Amino acid sequence: MRNSSKPPVYSQVAFDIATKIASGELEENTKFTGRSLMSTEYGVSQETIRRAFKQLSDMGIISVQQNIGATVLSKQKATEYIEKFQTGKDIRSLKAELRRLLDEREAVNARIVTLVDQITDLGDRFKSSDPLRNYEFEISPDSGIIGKSVRELEFWQNTEATIVAIKSGGRINLSPGPNAVFHPYDILVVAGNPNSVDKVKQLIK
C-alpha cells in the first residue's frame, strides 16, 4: 500500500495551533489546555493532542507542563514552523501526483504491449491474404547494428520494411524515430512483405 500524501491528524492539529499563534490569536505567554482544544475545536483524542503539543514543544513554539497545559513561547518559531509544514505538504502532494502518473504510465505501457502482441498475432493469422504483415526479430548481443540508429542503417532503404515498434526490457517504443538506437535483445516489430524478411535478417546479423 502506498503512503498517503495527507499528514497525520496530530500534525494537522499542531499546524492549526501554530497558525493561531503566528496570527496573534494566541499571543506569547498565553496559557491553554489540551482539554479545551478537544472539547471546543478538534474533537480528537487526548493522545492526539499530546502528540501535537510535543511536536510544537520540540520546535520551541510552546512549553508543556504535565497535567497543567501549554504556554505560548514564540510567535516567530510558529511562523517558521508553518512555512516548513507548507513546504513539506507541497512536496508530499507532488510525490503523490508523481506516483499517480507513474501508475498511469505503467498501465498505458502494458496496454500498448498487449495491442502490439494482438496486432502481431492477427498478422500471423492473415499472412496468406495480406501481402504486408508484421514480423519480429530479436537483436543478438553480437549484432553489428548495436549502438547504431535507424537513420545510420538506412533501415527502410536497405530492407523495404518499416519498424513498427521496438520492444526493450518489457517496454515498447511505438513508431521509433530515425534517432532510435538499437540494443542487445531488442525485439524489432517490422512491417513488410515476405521478401523483406531476408533483408532484415541480413542487416541485423
Same domain, 17 and 67: yes
Same domain, 141 and 200: yes
- Tell me if 111 is assigned to some domain: no
Per-residue pLDDT at 148: 94
**Which residues constitute the domain of residue 184?**
129-204
Q: Is the pLDDT of residue 205 over 60?
A: yes
- Tell me if 121 is assigned to some domain: no
Q: Is the pLDDT of residue 13 over 80?
A: yes
The set of cell numbers assigned to 66 is 504535565
Per-residue pLDDT at 141: 93
User: Given 71, 96, 121, which residue is the final one in a domain?
Assistant: 96
User: Given 79, 96, 113, which residue is the final one in a domain?
Assistant: 96
What domain count does the chain have? Answer: 2
Residue 66: closest CA among 57, 79, 76: 57
- Tell me if 119 is assigned to some domain: no
- Tell me if 120 is assigned to some domain: no
Same domain, 87 and 30: yes
Same domain, 69 and 14: yes
- Tell me if 110 is assigned to some domain: no
pLDDT-derived band of residue 145, with 50, 70 and 90 as boundaries? very high
* pLDDT > 90: percent of the chain: 33
Same domain, 147 and 190: yes
- Tell me if 68 is assigned to some domain: yes
Same domain, 69 and 136: no
pLDDT-derived band of residue 117, with 50, 70 and 90 as boundaries? confident
Mean pLDDT of 106-127: 73
Per-residue pLDDT at 171: 86
Same domain, 82 and 14: yes
- Tell me if 39 is assigned to some domain: yes
User: Given 96, 112, 141, which residue is the final one in a domain?
Assistant: 96
CATH code of the domain covering residue 139: 3.30.70.1450
Per-residue pLDDT at 39: 54
pLDDT-derived band of residue 199, with 50, 70 and 90 as boundaries? very high
CB count, 10 Å around CB of 175? 10
CATH code of the domain covering residue 26: 1.10.10.10
Same domain, 84 and 137: no
Per-residue pLDDT at 184: 94
Per-residue pLDDT at 172: 86
Helix 46-58 crosses helix 9-23 at what angle (to 10 degrees)?
Answer: 60
Q: Is the pLDDT of residue 128 over 60?
A: no
Q: Report the relative pairing of strands 171-174 and 187-192 from DSSP bridges.
A: unpaired
pLDDT-derived band of residue 36, with 50, 70 and 90 as boundaries? low
Per-residue pLDDT at 2: 47
Residue 71: strand pairing partners: 31, 63
- Tell me if 109 is assigned to some domain: no
Per-residue pLDDT at 132: 57
Mean pLDDT of 119-139: 68
Sort residue 147 into left (φ over 0), alpha (ψ -120 to 50) or beta: left
Same domain, 73 and 147: no
Please, what is the average pLDDT of the chain?
83
Determine phi and psi for 133, rounding to 5 degrees. Answer: -140, 175
